[in-house]
Homo-oligomer: A and B are copies of this chain.
Amino acid sequence: MNNNKINVAILGATGSVGQKFIELLSNHPWFNIAELAASDRSAGKKYSEATNWIMQTHLDKNIAEMIVQPCEPKLKSKIVFSALDASVAGEIEEAFAKNGYAVISNARNHRFDEDVPLVIPEINPEHLDLIYHQKFGSGFIVTNPNCSTIGLAMALKPLYDKFEIESVNVVTMQAVSGGGYPGVPSMDIIDNVIPFIGGEEDKMEKEPRKILGQLKNNKIEFADFKISASCNRVAVIDGHTEVVQIKFKNKPIKNEIINAWNNFSSEPQKFNLPFAPMNPVIYLENEKYPQPKLHRNLDKGMAVSIGRLRDCPIFDYKFVLLSHNTIRGAAGGTILIAELLKAKGYLEKYL
């Protein structure tokens, strides 16, 4: 029954991001999970035996029975989603790309390679052209940003285009699922806050500037504004909340900002991609919103919620944003990239 669907493989299928890929792709209208690959420890086992399924939906029976493959570029599916851990993703993804695979990755390793696009489909779809100029040979690598970056970049994009940005301050309260599984020990987070997440602040201060950058002569010119990020872990399962302060070059009035968010729409919406949210950014009027428990799942977990836009005594404005870190911020965002690649013809030779 999947004859008309495109076969895909998932690298790192047994971890929490890999599981999320499986959950989200299970009934995908275009893609069919044909192969699962993971570390040598898991390879050769039935998927249900190789993994400790922690998703909130039941594991599909067909997936459960699949035999896990090693993460070697011998898979039949030419399109692979990478949910690999950063400790191994760099080399494995490169090996796949060099052997003619289309690699769409959630790992951080290649995000700042000069010839690798770091993509949020609503923001910089044109960066995908970089894949024609990659060093990897017959295949390519496209990367998805860090989970805490995506919500921020989505909130900034419509403002950056219209009013130019001078500086952005962001303080996050991030969900434990962002730390993978087993990740944050319960003894560390119940009745607690951990005001540190290794490497996260660097990513947040750098990634949005590449994503909002300009593609010129096959290079990305990074966007030119300052970001200061402070990252904290809180006792929330899913959904990163971010307090943002912003100073513009051309300060708009509040309504112009809210309108810019509410009217924001881009290629995923134009192509009506399966994982595209109807409104990528939603402004909520209630002064207590957004909240992870209430809004993380808006529009299949793919929309970014914003609230509390108000004047700031230091910057121009402050506001709060929320996005689902394992859907929009990881597996879902990566799938949306694959859908856009397909819709725009980049995958032709891999089908």
A interface residue numbers (CB < 8 A to B): 16, 54-56, 58, 167, 169, 171, 173, 176-177, 181-196, 205, 226-228, 230, 232, 234-237, 241, 243, 245, 287-294, 297-298, 307-308, 312-315, 318, 320
Contacts and interface: CB of A to CB of B under 8 A. Distances in A.
A56 B173 contact: no
Given A56-B293, A173-B234, A314-B228, A288 B195 contact: yes
Given A190-B235, A228-B315, A171 B243 contact: yes
A140 to B, nearest CB: 32
Contact of A183 (B169, B187, B226, B294): B187
Given A185-B186, A196-B308, A237-B187, A297 B230 contact: no
A55 to B, nearest CB: 8
Contacts of A196: 287-288, 308
17 contacts: A56-B297, A58-B298, A169-B314, A176-B187, A185-B185, A186-B186, A190-B190, A192-B236, A192-B293, A193-B236, A195-B289, A196-B287, A196-B308, A226-B313, A232-B241, A234-B234, A235-B235
A127 to B, nearest CB: 24
A73 B262 CA distance: 43
Contacts of A243: 171, 195, 230, 232
A186 to B, nearest CB: 4
Given A228-B312, A230-B243, A313-B226, A237 B195 contact: no
A192 B313 contact: no
Contacts of A58: 298
A188 B183 CA distance: 10
Contacts of A234: 173, 193, 234-235
A35 to B, nearest CB: 25
Contact of A192 (B16, B185, B193, B291): B291
Contacts of A293: 56, 190-192, 237
A320 B58 CA distance: 18
Given A193-B241, A195-B308, A232-B241, A167 B291 contact: no
Contacts of A292: 191-193
Nearest to A297: B56
7 interchain residue pairs of minimum CB distance: A182-B185, A192-B293, A171-B171, A195-B320, A228-B314, A176-B186, A184-B186
A187 B190 CA distance: 11
Nearest to A307: B195
Contacts of A193: 173, 234, 236, 241, 291-292
A183 B320 CA distance: 23
B186 A291 contact: no
B176 A190 contact: yes
